[in-house]
Protein backbone atom coordinates (compact mmCIF):
# COMPACT_ATOMS: atom_id res chain seq x y z
CA UNK A 1 0.00 0.00 0.00
CA UNK A 2 0.99 3.61 -0.54
CA UNK A 3 1.19 4.25 3.21
CA UNK A 4 3.27 1.22 4.18
CA UNK A 5 6.53 3.17 4.11
CA UNK A 6 5.23 5.41 6.91
CA UNK A 7 4.48 2.59 9.33
CA UNK A 8 7.78 2.86 11.21
CA UNK A 9 7.15 6.56 11.88
CA UNK A 10 3.56 5.81 12.88
CA UNK A 11 4.82 3.24 15.39
CA UNK A 12 7.30 5.76 16.78
CA UNK A 13 4.56 8.36 17.15
CA UNK A 14 2.42 5.79 18.95
CA UNK A 15 5.29 5.05 21.34
CA UNK A 16 5.62 8.75 22.15
CA UNK A 17 1.87 9.14 22.59
CA UNK A 18 1.84 6.18 24.96
CA UNK A 19 4.39 7.97 27.14
CA UNK A 20 2.60 11.34 26.69
CA UNK A 21 5.88 12.85 25.46
CA UNK A 22 6.03 15.39 22.63
CA UNK A 23 9.67 16.08 21.71
CA UNK A 24 8.73 16.79 18.07
CA UNK A 25 6.56 19.82 17.58
CA UNK A 26 6.43 20.73 21.25
CA UNK A 27 4.23 23.80 21.50
CA UNK A 28 5.63 27.03 22.88
CA UNK A 29 2.59 28.71 24.38
CA UNK A 30 4.27 31.90 25.51
CA UNK A 31 7.62 33.65 25.16
CA UNK A 32 8.88 35.48 28.21
CA UNK A 33 12.26 36.45 26.74
CA UNK A 34 14.79 35.20 24.20
CA UNK A 35 15.77 32.47 26.67
CA UNK A 36 12.57 31.71 28.62
CA UNK A 37 9.13 30.52 27.65
CA UNK A 38 6.16 28.33 28.44
CA UNK A 39 6.50 25.01 26.60
CA UNK A 40 3.89 22.26 27.02
CA UNK A 41 2.55 24.15 30.04
CA UNK A 42 5.93 24.39 31.80
CA UNK A 43 8.11 27.47 32.30
CA UNK A 44 11.50 26.56 30.90
CA UNK A 45 14.90 27.83 29.86
CA UNK A 46 14.94 27.71 26.06
CA UNK A 47 18.04 25.72 25.13
CA UNK A 48 16.87 24.44 21.77
CA UNK A 49 16.08 27.48 19.64
CA UNK A 50 19.22 28.23 17.53
CA UNK A 51 18.69 31.85 18.65
CA UNK A 52 22.46 32.24 18.91
CA UNK A 53 22.58 35.99 19.51
CA UNK A 54 19.14 36.38 21.10
CA UNK A 55 18.04 38.79 18.37
CA UNK A 56 14.60 37.29 17.77
CA UNK A 57 13.49 39.10 20.92
CA UNK A 58 15.65 42.22 20.55
CA UNK A 59 13.50 45.35 20.94
CA UNK A 60 15.24 47.07 18.02
CA UNK A 61 14.45 44.20 15.65
CA UNK A 62 10.87 44.05 16.89
CA UNK A 63 10.37 47.77 16.34
CA UNK A 64 11.84 47.60 12.83
CA UNK A 65 9.47 44.75 12.01
CA UNK A 66 6.47 46.62 13.42
CA UNK A 67 7.27 49.75 11.41
CA UNK A 68 7.61 47.71 8.21
CA UNK A 69 4.14 46.19 8.69
CA UNK A 70 2.68 49.68 9.02
CA UNK A 71 4.43 50.82 5.83
CA UNK A 72 4.34 47.75 3.59
CA UNK A 73 1.57 45.53 4.94
CA UNK A 74 1.80 41.90 6.00
CA UNK A 75 3.06 40.17 2.85
CA UNK A 76 4.13 40.50 -0.76
CA UNK A 77 1.64 37.98 -2.16
CA UNK A 78 3.97 37.13 -5.01
CA UNK A 79 7.38 35.94 -6.14
CA UNK A 80 10.36 38.20 -6.75
CA UNK A 81 9.93 37.78 -10.52
CA UNK A 82 6.26 38.71 -10.47
CA UNK A 83 4.93 41.28 -8.02
CA UNK A 84 6.90 40.39 -4.90
CA UNK A 85 10.15 42.29 -5.31
CA UNK A 86 10.17 45.34 -3.07
CA UNK A 87 12.80 48.01 -2.58
CA UNK A 88 13.45 46.52 0.85
CA UNK A 89 14.46 43.19 -0.70
CA UNK A 90 17.01 44.95 -2.86
CA UNK A 91 18.30 46.88 0.15
CA UNK A 92 18.75 43.67 2.14
CA UNK A 93 20.60 42.04 -0.75
CA UNK A 94 22.92 45.03 -1.06
CA UNK A 95 23.63 44.92 2.68
CA UNK A 96 24.30 41.17 2.62
CA UNK A 97 26.72 41.58 -0.28
CA UNK A 98 28.49 44.42 1.53
CA UNK A 99 28.64 42.35 4.73
CA UNK A 100 30.47 39.59 2.86
CA UNK A 101 32.66 42.02 0.94
CA UNK A 102 31.32 40.94 -2.46
CA UNK A 103 29.13 42.53 -5.11
CA UNK A 104 26.32 40.03 -5.51
CA UNK A 105 23.65 38.54 -3.26
CA UNK A 106 20.30 36.78 -3.52
CA UNK A 107 17.79 36.55 -0.69
CA UNK A 108 15.36 33.63 -0.40
CA UNK A 109 12.17 33.02 1.55
CA UNK A 110 13.75 30.29 3.70
CA UNK A 111 17.23 28.99 4.42
CA UNK A 112 16.18 25.58 3.11
CA UNK A 113 15.21 27.06 -0.27
CA UNK A 114 18.50 28.97 -0.40
CA UNK A 115 20.76 25.95 -0.03
CA UNK A 116 18.45 23.59 -1.91
CA UNK A 117 17.97 26.08 -4.73
CA UNK A 118 21.65 26.88 -5.14
CA UNK A 119 22.82 23.26 -5.01
CA UNK A 120 20.11 22.20 -7.44
CA UNK A 121 21.05 24.93 -9.91
CA UNK A 122 24.81 25.57 -9.84
CA UNK A 123 25.74 22.12 -11.17
CA UNK A 124 23.82 20.09 -13.72
CA UNK A 125 24.11 17.12 -16.08
CA UNK A 126 27.75 16.55 -17.00
CA UNK A 127 28.98 18.32 -13.86
CA UNK A 128 30.16 16.84 -10.55
CA UNK A 129 29.16 17.70 -6.99
CA UNK A 130 31.49 16.71 -4.14
CA UNK A 131 29.73 17.09 -0.82
CA UNK A 132 30.55 16.32 2.78
CA UNK A 133 28.81 13.12 3.86
CA UNK A 134 27.14 14.87 6.81
CA UNK A 135 25.65 17.66 4.71
CA UNK A 136 22.29 19.11 5.68
CA UNK A 137 19.05 17.69 4.27
CA UNK A 138 18.52 20.82 2.18
CA UNK A 139 21.82 20.21 0.41
CA UNK A 140 20.98 16.58 -0.29
CA UNK A 141 17.56 17.62 -1.59
CA UNK A 142 19.18 20.10 -3.95
CA UNK A 143 21.91 17.91 -5.36
CA UNK A 144 19.41 15.15 -6.10
CA UNK A 145 17.53 17.60 -8.32
CA UNK A 146 20.65 18.89 -10.05
CA UNK A 147 21.25 16.02 -12.44
CA UNK A 148 24.97 16.22 -11.66
CA UNK A 149 27.12 13.27 -10.63
CA UNK A 150 27.08 13.20 -6.83
CA UNK A 151 30.14 12.05 -4.87
CA UNK A 152 30.32 12.10 -1.07
CA UNK A 153 33.58 12.60 0.79
CA UNK A 154 34.04 11.49 4.39
CA UNK A 155 32.84 14.00 6.94
CA UNK A 156 35.45 16.68 7.70
CA UNK A 157 38.12 14.58 5.96
CA UNK A 158 40.29 16.75 3.67
CA UNK A 159 42.41 13.78 2.58
CA UNK A 160 39.34 11.96 1.31
CA UNK A 161 38.26 15.10 -0.54
CA UNK A 162 41.69 15.39 -2.14
CA UNK A 163 41.66 11.73 -3.20
CA UNK A 164 38.30 12.12 -4.91
CA UNK A 165 39.31 15.35 -6.64
CA UNK A 166 42.49 13.71 -7.95
CA UNK A 167 40.40 10.98 -9.53
CA UNK A 168 38.32 13.54 -11.41
CA UNK A 169 41.29 14.95 -13.33
CA UNK A 170 40.20 17.66 -15.75
CA UNK A 171 36.59 17.31 -14.63
CA UNK A 172 37.36 19.45 -11.59
CA UNK A 173 36.75 22.47 -13.86
CA UNK A 174 33.06 21.48 -13.66
CA UNK A 175 33.01 20.41 -10.03
CA UNK A 176 31.18 22.05 -7.13
CA UNK A 177 32.58 21.31 -3.65
CA UNK A 178 30.12 21.76 -0.78
CA UNK A 179 30.98 22.10 2.91
CA UNK A 180 29.33 23.69 5.93
CA UNK A 181 30.78 26.01 8.53
CA UNK A 182 29.35 24.54 11.74
CA UNK A 183 27.52 21.25 11.31
CA UNK A 184 24.13 21.54 12.95
CA UNK A 185 23.85 18.23 14.80
CA UNK A 186 27.15 17.86 16.73
CA UNK A 187 28.42 21.42 16.36
CA UNK A 188 31.71 20.40 14.76
CA UNK A 189 33.49 22.98 12.60
CA UNK A 190 34.65 22.14 9.08
CA UNK A 191 38.43 22.18 8.38
CA UNK A 192 37.93 24.91 5.80
CA UNK A 193 41.58 25.96 5.69
CA UNK A 194 42.53 22.48 4.46
CA UNK A 195 39.51 22.27 2.15
CA UNK A 196 40.47 25.58 0.53
CA UNK A 197 44.08 24.47 0.05
CA UNK A 198 42.89 21.32 -1.72
CA UNK A 199 40.57 23.35 -3.92
CA UNK A 200 43.47 25.60 -4.90
CA UNK A 201 45.59 22.57 -5.80
CA UNK A 202 43.06 20.59 -7.82
CA UNK A 203 40.45 23.14 -8.92
CA UNK A 204 36.70 23.32 -8.64
CA UNK A 205 34.25 25.78 -7.12
CA UNK A 206 33.61 25.95 -3.39
CA UNK A 207 30.27 26.64 -1.70
CA UNK A 208 30.16 27.03 2.08
CA UNK A 209 26.88 26.85 3.96
CA UNK A 210 27.31 29.23 6.90
CA UNK A 211 23.82 28.65 8.31
CA UNK A 212 25.03 27.91 11.86
CA UNK A 213 28.27 29.91 11.69
CA UNK A 214 27.17 33.26 10.22
CA UNK A 215 27.00 35.78 13.07
CA UNK A 216 28.79 33.26 15.29
CA UNK A 217 32.33 32.96 13.90
CA UNK A 218 34.85 35.30 12.29
CA UNK A 219 36.19 38.71 13.23
CA UNK A 220 33.14 40.48 11.84
CA UNK A 221 30.73 37.55 12.12
CA UNK A 222 30.80 36.38 8.51
CA UNK A 223 31.29 32.78 9.55
CA UNK A 224 33.69 29.86 9.55
CA UNK A 225 35.39 30.83 6.28
CA UNK A 226 36.33 34.20 7.73
CA UNK A 227 37.56 32.55 10.92
CA UNK A 228 39.73 30.22 8.81
CA UNK A 229 41.05 33.09 6.67
CA UNK A 230 39.98 31.49 3.38
CA UNK A 231 37.14 33.73 2.17
CA UNK A 232 38.91 34.47 -1.10
CA UNK A 233 38.74 30.75 -1.92
CA UNK A 234 34.97 30.57 -1.45
CA UNK A 235 32.90 31.05 -4.59
CA UNK A 236 29.48 30.99 -2.94
CA UNK A 237 28.41 31.70 0.64
CA UNK A 238 24.97 30.42 1.59
CA UNK A 239 23.07 30.62 4.84
CA UNK A 240 19.94 31.50 6.70
CA UNK A 241 18.32 34.39 8.54
CA UNK A 242 16.63 32.04 11.01
CA UNK A 243 19.57 31.44 13.37
CA UNK A 244 21.81 34.35 14.40
CA UNK A 245 19.58 36.94 12.72
CA UNK A 246 16.45 35.76 14.51
CA UNK A 247 14.03 35.76 11.58
CA UNK A 248 13.40 33.52 8.59
CA UNK A 249 14.84 33.44 5.09
CA UNK A 250 18.08 32.59 3.38
CA UNK A 251 20.82 34.03 1.23
CA UNK A 252 23.61 33.36 -1.21
CA UNK A 253 26.43 35.82 -1.83
CA UNK A 254 29.22 35.62 -4.37
CA UNK A 255 31.98 37.60 -6.02
CA UNK A 256 30.98 36.06 -9.36
CA UNK A 257 28.79 38.37 -11.48
CA UNK A 258 27.20 35.23 -12.96
CA UNK A 259 25.10 35.02 -9.79
CA UNK A 260 22.78 37.61 -11.30
CA UNK A 261 22.05 35.28 -14.23
CA UNK A 262 21.83 32.24 -11.96
CA UNK A 263 19.12 34.07 -9.99
CA UNK A 264 16.67 33.61 -12.87
CA UNK A 265 17.29 29.85 -13.05
CA UNK A 266 16.64 28.95 -9.38
CA UNK A 267 13.20 27.38 -9.14
CA UNK A 268 12.69 27.88 -5.36
CA UNK A 269 13.42 31.57 -5.98
CA UNK A 270 11.28 31.93 -9.11
CA UNK A 271 8.18 30.14 -7.86
CA UNK A 272 8.02 31.11 -4.17
CA UNK A 273 6.47 34.20 -2.63
CA UNK A 274 9.14 36.58 -1.40
CA UNK A 275 10.08 37.43 2.17
CA UNK A 276 7.50 39.47 4.07
CA UNK A 277 8.49 43.12 4.64
CA UNK A 278 8.44 42.72 8.43
CA UNK A 279 11.01 39.90 8.26
CA UNK A 280 13.18 41.86 5.83
CA UNK A 281 13.16 44.82 8.20
CA UNK A 282 14.02 42.81 11.32
CA UNK A 283 16.75 40.97 9.40
CA UNK A 284 18.32 44.23 8.24
CA UNK A 285 18.34 45.52 11.80
CA UNK A 286 19.77 42.25 13.12
CA UNK A 287 22.53 42.39 10.51
CA UNK A 288 23.37 45.91 11.64
CA UNK A 289 23.61 44.69 15.24
CA UNK A 290 25.87 41.77 14.24
CA UNK A 291 28.25 44.26 12.62
CA UNK A 292 28.12 46.80 15.44
CA UNK A 293 28.19 44.57 18.53
CA UNK A 294 30.93 41.90 18.39
CA UNK A 295 30.59 41.50 22.13
CA UNK A 296 27.52 39.36 21.45
CA UNK A 297 29.77 36.75 19.85
CA UNK A 298 32.15 36.90 22.80
CA UNK A 299 29.27 36.30 25.21
CA UNK A 300 27.96 33.45 23.08
CA UNK A 301 31.31 31.62 23.09
CA UNK A 302 31.73 32.16 26.81
CA UNK A 303 28.35 30.50 27.35
CA UNK A 304 29.13 27.70 24.89
CA UNK A 305 32.44 26.97 26.59
CA UNK A 306 30.81 26.94 30.01
CA UNK A 307 28.09 24.51 28.96
CA UNK A 308 30.50 22.24 27.07
CA UNK A 309 32.85 22.04 30.06
CA UNK A 310 30.02 21.49 32.51
CA UNK A 311 28.55 18.60 30.55
CA UNK A 312 31.98 17.13 29.83
CA UNK A 313 32.77 17.21 33.55
CA UNK A 314 29.60 15.17 34.12
CA UNK A 315 31.08 12.47 31.90
CA UNK A 316 28.58 12.89 29.07
CA UNK A 317 29.52 12.14 25.46
CA UNK A 318 29.38 15.35 23.41
CA UNK A 319 30.47 16.50 19.97
CA UNK A 320 34.17 16.87 19.19
CA UNK A 321 34.63 20.56 20.00
CA UNK A 322 33.16 23.61 21.69
CA UNK A 323 30.57 25.44 19.62
CA UNK A 324 27.14 27.02 20.15
CA UNK A 325 25.69 23.57 19.38
CA UNK A 326 26.33 21.23 22.32
CA UNK A 327 24.85 17.79 21.72
CA UNK A 328 24.66 14.97 24.26
CA UNK A 329 24.86 11.59 22.50
CA UNK A 330 22.83 8.60 23.70
CA UNK A 331 22.71 5.08 22.30
CA UNK A 332 19.14 4.17 23.24
CA UNK A 333 15.91 5.70 21.90
CA UNK A 334 13.80 5.03 24.98
CA UNK A 335 16.53 6.56 27.13
CA UNK A 336 16.60 9.68 24.94
CA UNK A 337 12.82 10.06 25.18
CA UNK A 338 12.82 9.71 28.97
CA UNK A 339 15.72 12.15 29.33
CA UNK A 340 14.07 14.74 27.09
CA UNK A 341 10.92 14.66 29.20
CA UNK A 342 12.92 14.75 32.45
CA UNK A 343 14.78 17.84 31.24
CA UNK A 344 11.48 19.53 30.38
CA UNK A 345 10.15 18.66 33.83
CA UNK A 346 13.34 20.16 35.30
CA UNK A 347 12.70 23.41 33.42
CA UNK A 348 14.96 23.02 30.38
CA UNK A 349 13.76 22.69 26.79
CA UNK A 350 16.21 21.06 24.35
CA UNK A 351 15.89 19.35 20.95
CA UNK A 352 15.72 15.59 20.65
CA UNK A 353 17.12 14.33 17.35
CA UNK A 354 16.84 10.76 16.11
CA UNK A 355 18.39 8.85 13.21
CA UNK A 356 18.52 9.35 10.27
CA UNK A 357 18.65 13.07 11.09
CA UNK A 358 21.69 12.40 13.29
CA UNK A 359 25.11 11.75 11.70
CA UNK A 360 25.30 8.30 13.30
CA UNK A 361 23.03 5.74 14.95
CA UNK A 362 23.10 7.76 18.17
CA UNK A 363 20.20 9.79 19.54
CA UNK A 364 20.89 13.39 20.50
CA UNK A 365 19.78 15.79 23.19
CA UNK A 366 20.80 18.87 21.23
CA UNK A 367 21.41 22.11 23.11
CA UNK A 368 21.84 25.41 21.29
CA UNK A 369 23.45 28.19 23.29
CA UNK A 370 22.57 31.88 23.07
CA UNK A 371 24.41 35.07 23.91
CA UNK A 372 21.21 35.98 25.76
CA UNK A 373 21.59 33.12 28.24
CA UNK A 374 22.82 34.26 31.63
CA UNK A 375 25.58 32.43 33.47
CA UNK A 376 22.95 31.30 35.96
CA UNK A 377 20.84 29.80 33.17
CA UNK A 378 23.80 27.91 31.76
CA UNK A 379 24.46 26.51 35.22
CA UNK A 380 20.78 25.54 35.55
CA UNK A 381 21.04 23.59 32.29
CA UNK A 382 24.11 21.78 33.59
CA UNK A 383 22.27 21.09 36.84
CA UNK A 384 19.32 19.60 34.94
CA UNK A 385 21.66 17.15 33.22
CA UNK A 386 23.28 16.32 36.54
CA UNK A 387 19.81 15.39 37.82
CA UNK A 388 19.52 12.86 34.96
CA UNK A 389 22.67 11.18 36.23
CA UNK A 390 21.53 11.33 39.85
CA UNK A 391 18.21 9.78 38.86
CA UNK A 392 19.88 6.96 36.96
CA UNK A 393 18.44 7.99 33.58
CA UNK A 394 21.96 8.29 32.14
CA UNK A 395 24.95 6.14 32.93
CA UNK A 396 27.99 7.99 31.47
CA UNK A 397 29.74 4.69 30.73
CA UNK A 398 26.84 3.63 28.51
CA UNK A 399 25.79 7.00 27.09
CA UNK A 400 26.78 6.20 23.50
Give the ranges where the chain is alpha helix by DSSP (H). Answer: 7-19, 59-72, 87-100, 111-121, 137-146, 158-168, 192-202, 224-228, 259-262, 267-270, 277-292, 295-313, 333-345, 375-390
CA-closest candidate to residue 58, choices 249, 287, 218: 287
Q: In this structure, what is the dihedral angle of CA atoms 71, 77, 79, 80, given to the nearest 10 degrees?
A: -10
At residue 328, φ and ψ (nearest 5 deg) are: -90, 125
Give the dihedral sign, CA 90/62/288/326.
Answer: negative
Interatomic CA distance for residues 45 and 41, integer angstroms: 13
Question: How many angstroms separate the Cα of 243 from the Cα of each of 168, 214, 274, 337?
Answer: 36, 8, 19, 25
Interatomic CA distance for residues 344 and 347, integer angstroms: 5
DSSP calls for 272-295: SBPPPHHHHHHHHHHHHHHHH-TH
Establish whether 184 is a catalytic residue.
yes
**Catalytic pick from 65, 212, 244, 368?**
212
Strand-by-strand arrangement of the 36-39 sheet: 28-31, 36-39, 42-46, 348-349
CA-closest candidate to residue 183, choices 150, 151, 157: 157
**Catalytic pick from 109, 184, 213, 244?**
184
Interatomic CA distance for residues 125 and 144, integer angstroms: 11
**Catalytic pick from 136, 199, 243, 373?**
243
Establish whether 243 is a catalytic residue.
yes
With beta carbons less than 8 A apart as the criterion, state whether 275 and 75 touch: no
Q: Give the residue numbers marked as catalytic.
A: 184, 212, 243
Amino acid sequence: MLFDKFQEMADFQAELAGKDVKPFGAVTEELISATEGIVQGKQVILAGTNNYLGLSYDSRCIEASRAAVDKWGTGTTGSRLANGSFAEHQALEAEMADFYGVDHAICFSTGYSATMGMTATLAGPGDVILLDGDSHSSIYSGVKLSGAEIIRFKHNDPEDLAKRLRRLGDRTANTLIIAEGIYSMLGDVAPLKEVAAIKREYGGYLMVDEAHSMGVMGESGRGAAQAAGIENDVDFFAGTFSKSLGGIGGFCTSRHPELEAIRFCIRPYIFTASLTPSVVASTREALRIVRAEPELRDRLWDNAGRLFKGLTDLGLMLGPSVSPVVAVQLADRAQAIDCWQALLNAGVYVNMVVPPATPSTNFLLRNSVSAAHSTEQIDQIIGAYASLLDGGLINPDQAA
